[in-house]
Structures are given as structure tokens and as C-alpha cells.
Copies of this chain bind each other. A is one copy, B any other.
Amino acid sequence: MNIDRIQAAAHRIEGHAVRTPLLNAPLLDDMAGRRIFVKSECLQKTGSFKYRGARSAISALDAATRAKGVLAFSSGNHAQGIACAAREMEAPAVIIMPEDAPALKIANTRAYGAEVVLYDRATGDRDAIGAELAGARGLTLIKPFDNEDVIAGQGTCGLEIAEQAAEAGIGAADVLVCCGGGGLSAGIALALDAHAPQLTVRTVEPEGFDDVARSLLVGTKQVNTQMTGSVCDAILTPSPGNLTFPVIQQHCGPGMVVSDDEALRAMVAAFLRLKLTVEPGGAVALAAAMFHSEGDQDVIAVASGGNVDATVFQTALSRFGESN
């Protein structure tokens, strides 16, 4: 993995991915006592950064391979990114999703024209289901983060942050990134290392799912003991990726951890102050900026996705809408 691969991905996705704005709100700054900039990837096509990696990876396949189709395992955002990018490039897409994925994410994946195969997380073997489908139809598996073209695609978000931070007059700053398997964190870290080394990525995870933070502390890959139990469904992964962890270890600062309630409060702040729909897992970086970040230096938080069910959003507004 190097910066050339990210530049190549940027070239392939240009004109397809949204150059999402770096937003800021005076009243949010007042509350935090520092400037908080939000890279609004929830405004990306399909509602999350995952479209970048999906478009990057599918466009990197040769035409014959692409025409046979692609396969993905995903609880939601990677699924939508793959489904949408595949449709644009006229490639069949099969997505294997857990039955308990958010309804909006399943419905959207189908709406993009993908074939969705549901399985039971407790009893189903998604790898076996995937292997059978891939073998029978010649589909190419696109992993959600342990794929160099996917990481390169997510890195294009970092290229934009480097440019937008310069435009906004941001000097040295932490760039807080919502972290599941680490594809977005690794991609952004590589891009910033090449183009804005004064910006340092720090991963942010939900309490109880802090495998990356613990892995960084210990120096080897750690595994979470649970796979459910947080509202931050988008970023619940068992352990850092094989490709992503070495990059994160080399380029990122210490990992940060926030509670579910802090994520929901950040979601409400994004609604009130930035006018953005952010999903719980996409709000953990903003939560870290608001509740766990010290000093008065500028901070950049990536709002990585916005695919939240209306009922979850209503609950967050009713719990925290008046206290912001």
C-alpha cells in the first residue's frame, strides 16, 4: 500500500464519488471551546464513505471479471456501496447480510438492484454461503477492509481532508476517524502521511468494541469478546484487519473510545448544529471530539455514515434533543 495506489483510486472514482464538504458550526465551536471540523462522509453517495472503496475496487477489476459479478458480506454500508457501484458499472452484485441488519440498510441494498441473501448470525455460516455462491457463479469477493483497492478508495477521503484543511487554515490537528476494521483509518492515515503530515489520525471505537485501541496499546491484534450490544452497528468488527493494522500501527496516535450515549449525543449535535444525518457508528468520532478531546487545538472528525433507521433517530432526539 502506498500513496500512488490512493492517487490511482482517486482518478478512477473522480466524477462518481462526492467531494464531501468539511463543515464547521460556530455554536458547536463555542460549546467545545475549540474549532471542530466535520468531514461529512454521510453526504457521500449511498450515505457512507464505503462507496469510495467499493467503486475503487470494482473499477480495478478487469472487464471480464467484473461482468461475472461481485460478492460482499456486510451488515449495511459496504453492502450499499458495493450494490450502487456495481449497478453503475453494470456488474451483478450478491450481498450476504445478517437478518438483524438495520431495515433501512437491507432495503437500500435491494433498491440498488443487488441480490440480498440473509443469514442468521447465530446459526448461519456466511463464509460457506459465500463460497458456494462465488464458486457457482464466478463472483469476485470484495472484502470490506482487507483489500488494497478498498483501502485506497477510502484513502481518497484523506486526500480531500488534506486539501480542505489547508483551505480552512487548519495547522497541526488530530483527525478522528470512526473505526471498524480500519479501512477508512488506514486509507486516510496513508493519504495524510504523504500530503499533510501535520495531521494525525486517531481511531475512535465504541466501548466494548475497542479492539483497535487495545491492539495499539499491546502491539498485537486483539479480539473483542462480543459482537453485539452497541447501537453503533456499522463499526462492530471482531479485530483489526491484516492489511489495515500495520498501517494504523505505523501512522496513527492512540485509539479513543466513546460510550453509546456519547455517540447518540453527537448524533443529535450533528442534527442541531451541522444539519447532518449521522448514524450512531458514524458519530463516534464527533463524540470523541466533543467529549474526550482536550486543549483548544483544532480537531477534525470524520462523520463516516448516515444510514440510520428513523426509529433510532427519533429515540436519540427524544432522549437528547433538549439537552444540546
Contact = CB atoms under 8 A, between A and B. Distances in A.
Chain A interface secondary structure, helix, strand, loop or mixed? helix
B306 A275 contact: yes
16 contacts: A18-B21, A18-B23, A23-B43, A26-B46, A27-B111, A40-B43, A42-B275, A43-B275, A43-B276, A104-B272, A268-B310, A276-B276, A276-B277, A311-B321, A314-B314, A314-B321
Given A21-B21, A25-B45, A310 B111 contact: no
A20 to B, nearest CB: 7
A275 B276 contact: yes
Given A20-B21, A42-B275, 5 more contacts: A18-B23, A43-B275, A43-B276, A276-B276, A311-B317
Contacts of A321: 309-311, 314
Copies of this protein in the complex:
2
Contacts of A127: none
A49 interface: no
Interface residues of A, number: 39
Given A111-B27, A276-B276, A277-B276, A314 B311 contact: no
A167 to B, nearest CB: 9
Interface in A20-78: 20-21, 23, 25-27, 30, 40, 42-43, 45-47
Contact of A26 (B84, B274, B309, B313): B84
A123 interface: no
Interface of A: 18-21, 23, 25-27, 30, 40, 42-43, 45-47, 84, 87, 104, 108, 111-112, 268, 271-272, 274-278, 306, 309-311, 313-314, 317-318, 321-322
Nearest to A47: B275
A43 B318 contact: no
Contacts of A278: 275
A19 B24 CA distance: 12
B27 A313 contact: no
Looking at A26, A87, A271, A321, the one whose CB has the most chain B CB atoms below 10 A away is A26
Contact of A314 (B104, B275, B318): B318
